[in-house]
Chains A and B, each alone.
Chain A
């Protein structure tokens, strides 16, 4: 295509841009900011998405969580109907049925949750007692920092032992060793046998938003049934409510991700069969589905962010075109001279196109650089702002605590800027090439 060696044309283009360095820089700014916006937006979206993915994966991609749901909660609680116990939720029978119907279910973990007050000496705290089984650790990654986790023998003997979540351990035992101490959970005393590493909150989980895994006392499921019975009295401020619920949660862990969806269908039909269809008191949660939903949401944000950035790239492109049209007019005489001295139309086209492409590519490259710096700086700056405003970093800002610049984003941004350079250069270059050399030579 080019009748001249491209390096020669490139050198000429750069030399021409350097004639008006200030103008060239200003022309470049539109593209620079556009590309910077693309890179930074994609980095933020990628960061949020990765963080959410991790949270979903914390729930386990090969898990199915069957959770008890309290039907029409408002009725029983707010009317203060104190004599009536609301019966709902999953049963041990459900757990057994699931166990026998799902092949390839490696682990089935039943659990129940009971809100109680935990006490040690004068320190007291509202916590959740989580009755579960020793193999709970096989479905959720749990790290024991002190002592040990629940053992099969604890379950068998219905021992009054407990493993504390990290925050709870600190709240009850701020200064002293917790292992071996006896704490009160409701009406019963339990010996602390272990403390867990922080797990974070299950914020992304449906129906359990804000659940704090670190303020939980884990006890053997058998002990929970025996000490607390199936009726739970929840004494919250100003009202009492009774509930009857055998199990709050059954986690089914499967060997592979492919088995998750078929198994979820079987569990759903099982529960539909054995539970009252009028009062749906259960729910099947598949973390894998949430992962897919997350992926779709991410693309929505990517498209949104890129569209906004595309508008600024468009504006940048119009800016370049505008300047190039002015430059073509200003250099009419030069075009005439070059044509008289042997330049073909396509030489003139490539000369002006090279100028716009060099401008936009350079703008794009600087934009990528600034965008990467911004992607770096945003989490840092937000952390500083949170510090100054004394907002907990855990709060709304935590989703922005990380940004990820992917190679794809950089390639996208750079190719977009090159494209804008070509698109905005074609018309001015064409105008320059179509000039009549005789008239161009006479141009003042």
Chain B
């Protein structure tokens, strides 16, 4: 059984009286456990919309989205928040750390909303900070960290709730190539440990490191190559 299945998924935005944007026109995709996939395509092709739907940040206009055996396409806002908190790990291009919190506090945010006790949160975040190699800088605020360090914190945050699937949106887009490579090495490492990863990228070199590339254009999947 697939970890995540997208069945005839469409997403239509009504922008005005008669302006309707069809962002997705019927997507079918199956993600197996432990898969490392790249989603590629030009701007406006709908790849971000796929990521938003898979991350339960949005609901499809039609079609079904089955995540971990549960149909989440019609869940209400509170239930969707719950799914995001427990089953999804997000990594963003612009890191999206909360500026007033320290690195450790940032890593703990998903656990905070699950009601995990303070002590357990701290233990888990220290463990992860150690694993991503943040070391003594774990108590610094995001502004005091380099881009690479910030993205490491974001990766630790994505792992803290032990999610089913990690979704990364252009994770190396804001980094220089050397730091980008370090981050990608971290991704390879996660994949080799059996994590399921979806990465949206423009960069063919990034795509080649994955198990397969899903190419999107005009709201359709045009090809699904295996590497």
Contact = CB atoms under 8 A, between A and B. Distances in A.
Interface of A: 3-5, 8, 12, 15-16, 19, 333-334, 336-347, 437-438, 441
A344 B115 contact: no
A337 B112 contact: no
16 contacts: A3-B113, A3-B115, A4-B115, A8-B112, A8-B118, A334-B98, A337-B97, A337-B109, A338-B113, A340-B96, A343-B113, A344-B77, A344-B113, A345-B81, A438-B57, A441-B96
Interface in B95-130: 96-100, 109-110, 112-115, 118
B206 to A, nearest CB: 21
Contact of A344 (B81, B86, B109): B81
A179 B19 CA distance: 109
A334 to B, nearest CB: 5
Given A4-B115, A338-B113, A345-B78, 7 more contacts: A15-B100, A339-B84, A340-B96, A341-B90, A438-B52, A438-B58, A441-B57
| B interface, size bucket | 20 to 34
Contacts of B92: 441
B57 to A, nearest CB: 5
Which 5 A-B pairs rank lowest in CB-CB distance, beginning with the nearest?
A342-B85, A342-B113, A344-B81, A341-B110, A19-B100
Nearest to A343: B113
Contacts of B109: 337-338, 341
Contacts of A333: 96
B225 interface: no
B96 A344 contact: no
B115 A342 contact: no
A340 B55 contact: yes
Interface string B75-88: 00110011011100
B96 A437 contact: no
Nearest to B55: A340
B113 A347 contact: yes
B81 A342 contact: yes
Interface string B184-202: 0000000000000000000
Interface in B118-175: 118, 157, 161
Contacts of A338: 98, 109, 113
